[in-house]
Structure 1
Amino acid sequence: MDKMAKYKDIATIIRNRILEGVYPTGGLLPEQIKLAQEFQTSRMTIQKALEILNFEGLIYSTQGKGTFIKSNAASLSRLDTSINQYVGTTELFKDQAVVKSQILKNELRLPNADEQDKLQLTKTDAVYDIIRVRYLDTAPYCIEHSVMPAKILGDLTDNILKESIYAYLENQLNFKIGAAYRKISADQPNQMDQEYLKCAITEPVLQVEQTVFLQTGEPFEYSTTRHRFDKGSITTINMGNARAN
């Protein structure tokens, strides 16, 4: 690589190699020092990348033997999203498809009581009210309805919304994205789902309601995302720490 890769980028590359069979299931990953040499980065950065893949349930490490690819890793769908995944649609699919956005709404307004509570705002703090349809190549993937504080986002233009809000936050505003709280449910398609996601009235949609925080703990997004039933799922990984009572 031409420059030092970030650990998230390295994790994406290794993940794709696993899903594509470049690294066979049940086999060993290359040693960390060899990966560090390939990506022209430090071993610590490689370890952070592997922590992501371990958390996603793709790999596991055995002391003295190395890091192995789990036998079911290749069966994980590219459209599956980890329950802990909050990197954003553009980052999630950047090596798999062209992500495009159709902006249906981008307005400044005052928050309602629920938004004030979730985003820790006063009733006079302005928010952006954003609705976007996200496409993978030309296929509709989801409808995102996001409410975000103007005091954090600054001048949020349509050009930014057509690309990645998260990339704008991290690369232009120098914020670091932290944790997220998610609520996942199934719902019947509404008129907007039927129009933009091409859902039949009998087909369910997957709804993800989330509040996302900066590393400082300040909430910067309250959103509801609605997916076609056949365009992915939310996965959760039990890392083996559960105990029967």
Structure 2
Amino acid sequence: MPEMTGSYGQFCPVAMAAEVFCTRWTPLVLRELLCGSRRFNDLRRGVPRMSPTLLSKRLKELAKAGVIETRKASDGVIEYHLTPAGEELRDVVMTLGFWGQHWVETQHALEKLDPSLLMWDMRRHLDPEPLPPSRCTVQFLFPDQPPARQRYWLVIDGGDVDVCSTDPGFEVDLYVTCPLRIMTAIWMGIATVRAEVRAGRLELDGNPDLASSMQHWLGLSPFARERQRTGQAA
């Protein structure tokens, strides 16, 4: 594997792997690739606070290290795909996430919230199976956020799911209103839809079938399973 900048100068598998994996932002870029993001703009949506210049640099470093490869899609856009070496990092990334879910103090972590990133994650893991085959539009309102970051729409049309930060113009089937902290806690498996509705912190208005099945179609964070397994969910 090619030598990367910031070498530890040690012939040790841990040191050599850390030179590839532990540079700033790299684990999050790998998380995005493992979650299915392939194009530069999709990767940017998953790491919105990472500059495009730094993202481009990290992608080049990962390609040089043999972790990813570039391919040209049918429309001519460059895509980034994990190599077998990159795919083998899946367990490393998941284990790191499970460790963080189990050991990092959750209430402090909930102060670091980003509604656009939450909605992007929810879009990727939403399960359309419990939803009707016709198009469904769900509006999320986070009243505690600045006006430009309060409203988001999930549009589910068959197996396709899209997230919009501006009104897509479709009739809304379900309105979801709650503080961003509450929706993040539900997404992370710290709380449940039923408990938050019962406590009056989450309001669901619209199609009753969509409302009653929200816990099922929401598609929680893959790391929520760890909290549920250890009995920490509300």
| TM-score normalized by the length of structure 1 | 0.27
Q: TM-score, normalised by structure 2?
A: 0.28
Structure with bigger helix share is: 2
Tell me which protein shows more strand as a share of its residues. 1
